[in-house]
Amino acid sequence: MLSIKSFEFSPIQENTYLLYDDQGKAIIIDPGCYFGVEHETLKNFITRNGLSPVQLLNTHCHLDHVFGNKWVHEQYGLELYLHPEEEQVLAYAPTAGIRWSLPFDNYEGPLHFLEAGDTVTLGNSTLKVLFTPGHSPGSICFYSEEQGFVIGGDVLFYESIGRTDLPLGDHETLLRSIREQLFTLPDNTVVYPGHGRSTTIGYEKRNNPFLLGT
């Protein structure tokens, strides 16, 4: 059984997720910790709860989701897992940081690639990799069928969807990803997005103004 802890980090108010099991093993997803105090917040929670981070994942590599990759790598010795289409986005992130007046040091360690249908394992729990491009070319979500939740990145939000006006974004591709990869999940599946509050698949089917009638 996985526990989920979320942190809201950086001026962009990004959701960083820490998933951990009963044995104290943990996965860090999209570390958006930008300031030193945010690094300490994440570190203190991990230490206080006796957790051992064993994997670093990115749903996608826009700057607000990768601010803390380098720090996590240095602090816990973890290498980055992402979709291969996000390598180019990761490489561009420091340039985006300068444009947003949020300069940072990018992760430059080894990359490990995840594809659609791959499985991420933590103890006895598994997360299925869903390929959900549109907001970013290699966006992926991590789905727990057993516990009925999905870590969704910036694909689907409460009554909204990810923006597609950033480089390599595509609106129709994003809508198709949501319809074919997320709206096919059970209605009671909880969506933990990259920004804002959680929601459910069923609620978004009924209420999301971008997807009504799909």
| pLDDT per residue rounded down to tens, the chain (214 residues) | 999 999 999 999 999 999 999 999 999 999 999 999 999 999 999 999 999 999 999 999 999 999 999 999 999 999 999 999 999 999 999 999 999 999 999 999 999 999 999 999 999 999 999 999 999 999 999 999 999 999 999 999 999 999 999 889 999 999 999 999 999 999 999 999 999 999 999 999 999 999 986 5
The residues that bridge with 17 in the sheet, in sequence order, are 6, 29
Write down the pLDDT at residue 135. 98
60-77 pLDDT, tens digit per residue, is 999 999 999 999 999 999
Q: Domain of residue 93: give its range.
A: 3-207
Domain-located, residue 212: no
The CB density around residue 59, as the number of other CB atoms within 10 Å, is 29
Domain membership flag for residue 214: no
Which CATH number covers residue 100?
3.60.15.10
Of the candidates 40, 38, 17, the one whose C-alpha atom is nearest the C-alpha of residue 29 is 17
Residue 24 lies in a domain: yes
Reported residue count of the chain is: 214
In a domain, 213, yes or no: no
**Domain count for the chain:** 1
* Residue 55 to residues 37, 60, 140, 149, 159, Cα–Cα distance (Å): 22, 15, 16, 19, 31
Q: How many Cα neighbours within 13 Å face the side chain of 71? A: 20
Spatial distance between the Cα atoms of 23 and 59, rounded to a whole number of angstroms: 24
The DSSP secondary-structure symbol of 166 reads: S
96-140: pLDDT as tens digits: 999 999 999 999 999 999 999 999 999 999 999 999 999 999 999
pLDDT score at 213: 67
